[in-house]
Structure 1
Amino acid sequence: MYKIILVTLLFLLSFVPIFSQNDSITFLALGDSYTEGTGEVQRNGWPAQLVSLLNKKKIPVASPKIVAKVGWTTTDLITHINSEDLQPSYDLVSLLIGVNNQYQGLPLDTFKAEFPALLETAIRLANNNPNNVFVLSIPDYSVTPFARFKDKKKIAQELETYNSIIEDVANQYQVQFIEITELSKKAAFNRSLIVSDSLHPSGKMYKTWAKKIVKKRY
């Protein structure tokens, strides 16, 4: 009797998918403080929360490789990608960059030249498959307490220009563009969406971004 039960269990288990680390989707997140999750623990950043949501949907994704730091411009990101030993074998690559170009008042032409180059690199690192890449719009920090003594209208208008470029380039390269700017504006009315530095998103905000990515891609 026990032998029959054991054989039956082994038979049933043979149909259960078992994912090893090698079977998991590999994820590379490129960007700046918004991808690093400045002011938050890493598990509360949107890349980690995206992985968690996908794993709950039985889509096995490995812990993200994050190449992103606070203050990085497109030039900084290019420099650090080149210094990393990144192999063109990622199943999923994200790109969120540009806010520091705007904040530092860098020439728009620099962004116009470097963002397409970064997207080309992202595609190359994603097995040369544009379908494996997605681009996020730049959040609008003009609504945060950090910007209360700054020209909010100017910030919002300039970020709108940057996001228009990002969307156009993404479409040109047939890469999915995911708009999160409107979600970021909710921080104007909800302080819990911002961490203690009065600028960067909280885990609660990042969760809304991760949910939107899942909704748009899966």
Structure 2
Amino acid sequence: MKLYAVILVLAFSIKGFSQNLNIQSPVRMLALGDSYTIGQSVATGMRWPTQLGDSLIKRGYQIDEIRYIATTGWRTDDLVQAIKGQNLQSQNYNLVSLLIGVNNQFQHAPFSKYESEFPALLDSAIRYAGGDPSRVFVVSIPDYAFTPYGQGSSNPNTISIELDQYNNYAKSIADAKGVVFFNITPISRLGVQKPEYVANDNLHPSGIQYTEWVKLMLEFIDSQTAANSRKEIEILESYFPNPVNDVLNIRLSEGFQDKKVKIQIINMEGKVLMKQTMKNTTDSIRVNDLDVGLYFLKLSTGKRSQLIKIALVR
């Protein structure tokens, strides 16, 4: 398979996301969790991490590895024990997922156990991703109350309330650590309305439901890919002050630091009054010899250019 050198930084700023997710090719993914991660009762190819990997391949990424450390029935403490002594931080994973907690709730473990062990697991996930939280994401716990098994329990509503507590806590920890949190729980709550969302065991998500999880992830990934592409056109990351009095400070966007960027100050009639070449990622241009008024700041490199209006005051 052809290797595509693709680096994508996703700034999660819509639909409740505020963290960054960095997906780099070739992808070496570590999927940590329980039955929902290994796709209990579905074909291997329908597991959501596998479906995500297949979708990333279609988008130009190479997938080197997707490793699972997950077993049906695991609580947070089981996962803590499973990852001990495996030296995972030296395996060069650049994408790590974490989905854990349903068995803490199902087995009636004290919630305080999750409060202490989930943050530790997330810290471990970040460490396995080279210490970079932008290469880690958390997936919410699906709500099994909306399955035939859950509907047959004594109080399905209690299941939902308790899982909301787990998910709200997990999200708060993910947010605090700068990690993306995918909330797939609303999708799982369509399990009664859409029986095809439930596997044949009447408890776990089906491959069809996992596809919807991946669609949620990809919807944002694709939207941010487009936003990132638009952002790459902009040469200038920032400039200040504006209005400017004496010196205008300029900072180049990522990707332009090693390029030869020319700066021009142009008056409103289109005449070039000043010009220089950027010496570093950040540079400044003195405008104290210019008259008060409006000007254009033009940056150009190769076939790209950017024009910004600035005001000169005294």
Opposite residue 19 of structure 1, the aligned amino acid is: L
Aligned length: 200
- Asked whether the 8 Å contact 1:94–1:133 carries over to 2, the reply is yes
Gap regions ≥5 residues in structure 1: 1-16
The structure that is strand-richer by fraction is 2
- Asked whether the 8 Å contact 1:51–1:63 carries over to 2, the reply is no
Residues 163-202 of structure 1 aligned to structure 2 (within 5 Å): 163-202=167-206
Q: Secondary structure at the match of 2:161?
A: helix
TM-score (norm 2): 0.61
Structure 1 equivalent of residue 94 of structure 2:
91
> What is the alpha-carbon distance in structure 1 between the residues aligned to residue 221 and residue 100 of structure 2?
20
The alpha carbon displacement at 1:59 in A equals 1.8
In the alignment, is residue 111 of structure 1 matched against residue 95 of structure 2? Answer: no
> What is the alpha-carbon distance in structure 2 between the residues aligned to residue 159 and residue 56 of structure 1?
34
Residues 66-81 of structure 1 aligned to structure 2 (within 5 Å): 66-81=68-83
* Shift >6 Å, 4+ stretches: none
The alpha carbon displacement at 1:42 in A equals 1.2
Structure showing greater radius of gyration is 2
TM-score (norm 1): 0.88
The alpha carbon displacement at 1:18 in A equals 3.4
Listed one character per residue, the Cα deviations across residues 102-140 of structure 1 (whole Å, up to 9, x for unaligned) are 000000000000000000000000010000000011101
Gap regions ≥5 residues in structure 2: 5-24, 223-314
Opposite residue 143 of structure 1, the aligned amino acid is: F
> What is the alpha-carbon distance in structure 2 between the residues aligned to residue 84 and residue 107 of structure 1?
27
Of residues 164, 175, 179, the one that matches 1:160 is: 164
Opposite residue 210 of structure 2, the aligned amino acid is: Y
- Asked whether the 8 Å contact 1:33–1:71 carries over to 2, the reply is yes
Structure 1 equivalent of residue 13 of structure 2:
none
Listed one character per residue, the Cα deviations across residues 164-207 of structure 1 (whole Å, up to 9, x for unaligned) are 10000001100001100001111111111111110011111101
Listed one character per residue, the Cα deviations across residues 149-168 of structure 1 (whole Å, up to 9, x for unaligned) are 21101000000000010000
Listed one character per residue, the Cα deviations across residues 60-99 of structure 1 (whole Å, up to 9, x for unaligned) are 2234101111000000001111153423421100000000
> What is the alpha-carbon distance in structure 1 between the residues aligned to residue 175 and residue 168 of structure 2?
11
Tell which has more relative contact order, 1 or 2 (C-alpha 8 A, sep 6+): 1
The structure that is helix-richer by fraction is 1
Residues 6-45 of structure 1 aligned to structure 2 (within 5 Å): 18-19=2-3, 24-45=26-47
